[in-house]
Amino acid sequence: MMDPGGGQIEGKIYVFPLRVYYEDTDFSGFVYHASYLRFMERGRSEFLRVCGIGHQELLQFAEPLFWTVRSIGIKFIRPARIEDALNVRTSVTGLTGARMLLEQWISRDQEEMTRAEVEVCLISAAGRPRRIPDAIRQRMEFYLEPVENIRR
Q: Which residues contact 97 (CB under 8 A, 6 or more apart)?
A: 131, 132
- pLDDT, one tens digit per residue, over 10-64 is 999 999 999 999 999 999 999 999 999 999 999 999 999 999 888 889 988 889 9
pLDDT mean over 3-7 = 74
Q: Which residues pair with 118 in a beta bridge?
A: 72, 102
Structure pTM?
Answer: 0.91
Task: Evaluate the CA torsion angle 35, 40, 42, 43 in order and state its sign.
Answer: positive
**Active-site residue list:** 26
Domains and CATH numbers, the chain: 8-145 (3.10.129.10)
Residues 88-129: tens digit of each pLDDT:
999 999 999 989 999 999 999 999 999 999 999 999 999 999
pLDDT at 1 over 60: no
What average pLDDT does range 124-146 have in this prediction?
92
